[in-house]
Amino acid sequence: MRKGVGTIQLHRLLPSHADSDEEFDELCFQFGLELDEITSEKEIISKEQGDGKAEGVSDIILYKIDVPANRYDLLCLEGLVRGLQVFKERVMVVMVLQPETETSVLKFRVRAPRYKRIMPPNGEIQRLTINEETSQVRPYAVAAVLRNITFVKDRYDSFIDLQEKLHQNICRKRSLVAIGTHDLDKVSGPFTYTAKPPLEIKFKPLNQDKEYSATEIMDLYRTDSHLRHYLHIIEDEPLYPVIYDSSGVVLSMPPIINGDHSKISLNTKNVFIECTATDLTKCSQEDIANKLGVDISATKAVHIANPKTAEFQVTRTTLLPGLLKTIAANRKMPLPLKLFEISDIVVKDSTMDVGARNHRHLCAVYYNKNPGFEVIHGLLDRIMQLLEVPPNKDSGYYIKATEDSAFFPGRCAEIYAKGQSIGNLGVLHPDVITKFELTVPCSALEITIEPFL
């Protein structure tokens, strides 16, 4: 993935480590990024469309940076700066007074960003109800509310830009996921996600001045340079997905366009975020069971009815196979290879209405000529340090030797935190290495992060 960064904002947010192009290039190299190009918006347009089209366009210097495919947190300027600051251990600045000299000394200490749950003033949590009709076109949806924010022009632009970059990358150009953001104070919950025939959906699209039916909206954007690329996702469906508020106001028709009524602005203080998707995370039975030396019946895997391919037989119960397959596809890259993923796994749960439950997991792997158990153990320690969980058996975390078919005998440990088992770490068994077509040792860590959310 490629990201453009304005150098003025970057130097303001990352002082002393980006004083020159050469220094920033070196910092990126140390961090594992590549400064691919130094250019400007004017230069880009001039190359693509000619000098005439570039007249009056900004000539502010931009850095074009290649971002790893699994580092979506680096796709916005704020995430990139935070990552570099953590790498240089400069997130929090502390002024320390030296009594003997009566002088102040700057000391730097890393602290993870803090987010907290805020209840709405009336105490009622917003809800998004998913109707059965959506199963025919785009069956999944989640929502969240971001409260008490302050937008300025740079933050607003970065917010919108990040949403678009996510659409182009992890969301697979909206075919897998579409994200809608709305000014919560302009609408009223609870919200309803449903699907209707195109002629029954009518609303004023974003930045338009009149109301259109869904059929008319598709025709309206058929020549639009941006939105025309997404029309094919739903245009042949008998029903189109749509999200309403409690008053019948249309928030969005995913994955095409939001309604104009709920658009965010610099004055927005509370943001309603909705994400609709075409499927849950899927995997093959061989990946989550056979290759890891586990019987499929012991995995609590949710089986997919009438899967299109063997890759879609079951929902994944572990993130590890996906990372190992990624390593297998990149074996020619220089060692060591270090990958991680934070995502959901799905397991059967008879207490849930749908018979299954999502769990958020974190998985990391270290692939090198030596097993690297101490590396993966050190990563666990660092994660717990950032979560402020101390290393003790009473109220903190600890590891205990165990056996697991996916790991080398005597080189596996179970991880405990907050009084419960949260996962395993260790050196993978040679059979697992071979089945995933790998050639050198690999250590891995996988934990549930539900207790820390």
- pLDDT tens for the chain, 453 residues: list them: 445 555 566 666 666 555 677 888 888 888 888 887 787 777 777 777 777 777 777 777 778 888 776 678 888 888 888 888 777 765 444 444 444 444 444 444 445 567 778 888 888 889 999 999 998 899 999 999 999 999 999 889 989 999 998 998 888 889 889 999 999 999 998 999 999 999 999 999 999 999 999 999 999 999 998 899 999 999 999 999 999 999 999 999 999 999 999 999 999 999 999 999 987 655 656 665 677 777 666 677 777 665 544 555 677 889 998 899 899 888 888 899 999 999 999 888 888 877 888 999 999 999 999 999 999 999 999 999 999 999 998 889 999 999 998 999 999 999 999 889 999 999 999 999 998 889 999 999 999 999 988
- Side chain identity at 208, as an amino acid letter? Q
3-class secondary-structure state, position 33:
coil
- Side chain identity at 346, as an amino acid letter? V
Q: What are phi and psi of 445, to 5 degrees?
A: -135, 130
The two three-digit tokens of residue 129, written as one number: 């109800």
Provide the 8-state DSSP code for 126: P
Q: What is the pLDDT of residue 225?
A: 87
Sign of the CA dihedral with 411 first, then 412, 418, and 422 last: positive
Q: What angle do CA 244, 258, 115 make, to 5 degrees?
A: 85
Closest by CA to 301, choosing from 356, 258, 254, is 356
Q: What is the pLDDT of residue 356?
A: 84
The two three-digit tokens of residue 433, written as one number: 């290495």
CA–CA gap between residue 406 and residue 291 (Å, rounded) = 8
User: Which own/partner contact pairs does 105-110 have at CB distance under 8 Å and 24+ positions apart?
Assistant: 110/85, 110/86
- Side chain identity at 126, as an amino acid letter? Q
Between helices 77-87 and 21-31, what is the axis angle to 10°?
70
**pTM higher than 0.85, yes or no?**
no
Q: What is the pLDDT of residue 292?
A: 77
Closest by CA to 363, choosing from 446, 449, 452, is 446
Q: Are strands 128-130 and 191-196 parallel, antiparallel or unpaired?
A: parallel
The two three-digit tokens of residue 371, written as one number: 């097993």
Q: What is the helix (H) or strand (E) element at residue 347, kind and residue range?
A: strand 337-348
Q: What is the pLDDT of residue 19?
A: 64
Please report, in angstroms and rounded to a whole number, the separation of the first and last CA atoms in the chain: 29
Distance from the Cα of residue 359 to its chain's centroid? 15
